[in-house]
Amino acid sequence: MALLDDNPGPGGQIWRLHSNQWTTRMRASGCEFLPQATVFEVRGSHRLGVWMEGEAHDLTYQKLILATGARELFLPFPGWTLPHVMGAGGLQALAKGGLPIRGKRIVVAGSGPLLFAVAAYLKSQGAIVPLIAEQTTLLDLALFAAGLEANKFHEAGRLLWDLRAIRYRPSTWVTSTTAGLVRLNRGKPVPCDYLACAYGLIPNLELARVLGCAIRKGTTIVDETCQTSVADVHAVGEINGIAGEELALIEGRIAGYAATGQTIKVTRHLPRRARLLEFRRLLSRTFALRHELRKLAAADTIVCRCEDVRFSQVQAAADERDAKLQTRCGMGPCQGRVCGPACEFLFNWPAGTLRPPLAPVPVSAYLNRQP
């Protein structure tokens, strides 16, 4: 049994290398942890290409559980590529990694509950958060609160109490920014040192897609044991839909038990998973993005920041492939991970094609391959 992660330690987005009961249990179980191991391609049935310790390895498996998580969705607006603008979770990660934020004024904007978590963290580290701008409406937020089960309602209540000194404005979004100032669709411009902005999370589906797993509406399709449409491949957590840590942990247990044939233990977790799936539906309804966000970019706003492609250059393209052929949009180092989902939202393009390598690897990864 082995756990592969392209990070230097286990823990994913939430724990970020900090030990906790799950990492302790994982180590005690005898599971081998392979850090800085990036799955960059699928090399036939039950075989993955993994970049690790400076070289490519073939790794075979009998059962595979995908838990590739999610990333933030960025939408282009004038100024979004300036150095003081970061993703909400991105700025939080940098702060956790040592970026000094004490005394800095940070506007948090975009959509989703992550904005609360980020604002609470930034505040706890001494930052001043003058505003959380949330694009969804007050009515949708009220319906969200009404739909929460008791423990999640109390959790949200506690978070709101911690953040009571911070202005939280629904139906509000960033229209542009220049160094030191954020302009919104309503109200006065807000001075800031940083703008932490992201429009929710999108699943990292690249590996699931190259394995051939069925995908619908941007998430993997799984049955109640988290089995995908591909034999011996399970999927858990954010790639099945954005719902947070609790569902990711439950699904991890379900998939682990299912993959090892422990059916009775699977059954024990199914009712909780079913309730959390309700929460997932509620989240996706509440924080659905409004159409006004499609109009934020100006003609000269950069859409693909790797290749410096501007909005007006791709506006008339039929789809992602057309845009690639004409402008190199999505062909830079991030391989469309940032501009791809943004363009899908802005222009209603279908998800683009995907080719290995799934992550940048040296050419040597393709030389001297084992037969």
List residues near ligand FAD by CB under 6 A: 4-7, 12-14, 38-39, 67-72, 89-90, 92-93, 114, 117, 201, 204, 207, 237-238, 244-245, 248, 358
Q: Which parts of 244-299 fold into alpha helices (H)?
A: 245-259, 263-286
Name the DSSP class of 128: B
Report how far residue 99's alpha carbon sits from residue 87's, in angstroms, rounded to the nearest whole number.
14
92 vs 335, beta carbon nearer ligand FAD: 92
Tokens of 164: 């009571």
Strand order in the sheet with 167-169: 85-86, 194-199, 106-111, 131-134, 167-169
Nearer to ligand FAD, 71 or 123 (CB): 71
Measured CA distances, 54 to 2, 271, 278, 294, 361 (Å): 19, 44, 43, 42, 9
Give the whole-angstrom CA distance, residue 300 versus residue 115.
28
Q: Are the C-beta atoms of residues 239 and 66 closer than 8 Å to each other?
A: yes
At closest approach, how far in Å is the CB of 69 from ligand FAD? 2
Residue 250 beta carbon to ligand FAD: minimum distance, rounded to whole angstroms: 11
CB of 265 to ligand FAD, least distance (A): 19
- Alpha carbon of 53 to those of 16, 56, 149, 189: distances in Å? 20, 8, 45, 48
Quote the CA–CA distance of 340 and 126 in Å, as a whole number.
35
Q: Cβ of residue 237: shortest distance to ligand FAD, in angstroms?
A: 2
Q: Residue 202 or residue 296: which is nearer to ligand FAD going by CB?
A: 202
Minimum CB distance to ligand FAD smaller for 117 or for 128: 117
Closest contact distance (angstroms) between CB of 273 and ligand FAD is 14
Place of tokens 């959380």: 132
Smallest gap from Cβ 347 to ligand FAD, in A, equals 24
At closest approach, how far in Å is the CB of 202 from ligand FAD? 9
The H-assigned helical ranges of 287-347 are 311-314, 320-327, 339-347
Cβ at position 299, least distance to ligand FAD in Å? 30
Task: Kindly tell me which of 184 and 201 has the beta carbon lying closer to ligand FAD.
Answer: 201
Q: Which helix (H) or strand (E) holds 314?
A: helix 311-314
Between 78 and 252, name the residue whose CB sits nearer to ligand FAD. 252
- 235 - beta bridge partners? 66
Closest contact distance (angstroms) between CB of 165 and ligand FAD is 20
C-alpha dist (Å) from residue 320 to 153, 313, 326, 353: 41, 12, 10, 8
Query: For the chain, what's the residue count?
Result: 371
Nearer to ligand FAD, 115 or 133 (CB): 115
Q: Rounded to an integer, what distance in angstroms lies between the CA atom of residue 244 and that of residue 279? A: 10
Look-up of token digits 């960033």: 174
Cβ-based nearer residue to ligand FAD, 31 or 138: 31
Tell me the two tokens of residue 65. Answer: 């559980």
Nearer of residues 71 and 310 to ligand FAD, judged by Cβ: 71
Q: Token pair 């392979």 is at which residue?
A: 34
